[in-house]
Amino acid sequence: MTPAPPGGSGPFAPGNESDNETGDETAGGSADGSPEIGLTGPEAPAEQEPEGGPHRHLAHTWDEARQLAFDCATPIPAAPVPLRQALGRTLAADVVAEGDMPHYASSAMDGWAVNGSGPWILAEPGQRLAPHQASPIATGGLVPAGAKAVLRSESGVIGTDEDGLPVLKLGGSAKPGDPRNGDHIRKAGEEAADGDILIKRGTVLNPAHLALAALAGNDTLPVLGKALVRLVFTGSEVVTSGTPAPGQVRDTFGPQLAAVVEMLGGICAEEVKIGDTYAEWLTALEDSEPVPASTILPADVVITTGGTGRSGTDHLRRSVAELGGRLLIDGIAMRPGHPAVLAELPDGRYILGLPGNPLAAMMALSTIGTPLLAALGHAPNPPLGEVPCGSTIDADPGRTRLMPFRLLYGMASPAQHTGPGMMRGLAAADGVLVVPPHGVQLGEPVPAFALPWSAPLPDLAAAPAAPKPAAKRAARKTGASDGPVDWSALLQ
């Protein structure tokens, strides 16, 4: 991993992951032994700050933060959107036929509209047909008044009568009696009658629904609200292409964050990149520039990356305070990702501050971003599942640990390469373990959640019953290695 330069607020920058999430970190304190800000419960530091000393806050537990992020948001009201933007959205009201569909009788074939039996005298297209008259017609064309059927082009030939005038006669593939009344005519109202319900409220719209709505004459559809999200990437040391030089780091958020937001039910409306100054932070969160009529509406949620620590280059909290906002979550007793911040501004926008380290940011997004976007988008708070743990995980009093895992022989074993600044372990993971502070024993069910892009977690309740024990065999000598097997070594 490329070391971060002094200062900065982008990925890997000092101060962004203020819990010093390394292997040397201990519960209730940082790597240098000083008490850690943000722990709750019996493991929190007992000493009181002297008057005038630095501000200390109590972090929410993982469960508290997750529930608060869901409870603080009110679903965004339904609104009409253009058909092209309605794909995958949930319909907020029935789509009803405003008239017969189709609204006129049309030809199902290229050929001739005819009245009565042949031969037929040719009339001008569009005029009313008298008995024994015909006029050319194309597929989808309006059937003229007086027409009783359509003769297919391959079933008719143009000839002449006794006086040498052109007439239409049966020929080619025609059968005796062709065409019968109604043949090859699409009647008005054949698909739907005026007032029929075409698409029911609550339907998740697919491309065929959009085409049906268009047939019914709709240009927009009323859909349940979804959060519009603005992404603010920070860090003057971050580069967006190539291999970073010493003192630089590669952007890990640009390629992934917008897509993850979409998977979680948000709509990524804009992406901006800023440096590390307070003025840039304030401008990015202020959103005071006039919005042109051609652009999308202002964001409901602003997601920032970096700047959630407490160093001199971390300006998120100060910017929120300057704008009159309030902090809803200021740190979570979890690792990685505990410096995460959730705030609300007076105009109703939510600010979700993610740590600068990529894995820490994704775990913070999973903890508070997932329920926040679900609540705004009329969805329930995604439930947790359970998986049997494939290894013993020691206690870490005072905080929850989120560990990407891989399923191996039905057991969830913590993945390798899961430092706060790493992405290799998450890229190969099947989900994330939510390890409680007291730890987990081998084989014990542990809470877990699937990643937005991964398959659903296996349902333990639906697992097949244990097979009937085999017949007893002769006893064998017990070895020192007998007992449950820890499969985690296979993941290395």
Q: What is the pLDDT of residues 282-295, one digit of tens each?
A: 999 986 554 444 45
Q: What is the mean pLDDT of residues 237-244?
A: 81
Q: What is the mean pLDDT of residues 87-92?
A: 95
Q: What is the mean pLDDT of residues 22-51?
A: 34
Q: What is the mean pLDDT of residues 152-174?
A: 84
Q: pLDDT tens, 394-428? A: 999 999 999 999 999 889 999 999 888 888 989 99
Residues 6 or more apart in contact with residue 62 via CB below 8 angstroms: 332, 333, 334, 367, 399, 400, 402, 434
Tell me the pLDDT band of 35, cut-offs 50, 70 and 90.
very low
Q: What is the pLDDT of residue 265?
A: 94
Task: Report how far residue 237's alpha carbon sits from residue 60's, in angstroms, rounded to the nearest whole number.
Answer: 31
Report the phi/psi class of residue 337: left, alpha or beta, with left for phi > 0 and alpha for psi in -120 to 50: left
Tell me the pLDDT band of 32, cut-offs 50, 70 and 90.
very low
E strands present in 211-333: 220-223, 228-234, 238-239, 249-250, 267-274, 301-305, 326-330
Q: Is the pLDDT of residue 365 over 70?
A: yes
Contact assessment for residue 122 and residue 135, using Cβ atoms and an 8 Å cutoff: yes
Q: Provide the CB-side half-sphere exposure for 203 (13 A, CA).
A: 19
Q: What is the pLDDT of residue 459?
A: 82
Task: Report how far residue 417's alpha carbon sits from residue 201's, in angstroms, rounded to the nearest whole number.
Answer: 46
Q: Is the pLDDT of residue 151 over 70?
A: yes
Q: What is the pLDDT of residue 28?
A: 32
Note if the pTM is more than 0.85: no
Higher pLDDT pick, 16 / 454: 454
User: Which residue type occupies 291?
Assistant: V
Q: What is the pLDDT of residue 275?
A: 87
In whole angstroms, how far apart are CA 175 and each of 151, 154, 178, 180, 189?
11, 11, 6, 10, 29
> In whole numbers, what is the pLDDT of the chain averaged over residues?
82
Higher pLDDT pick, 198 / 38: 198
Q: What is the pLDDT of residue 447?
A: 96
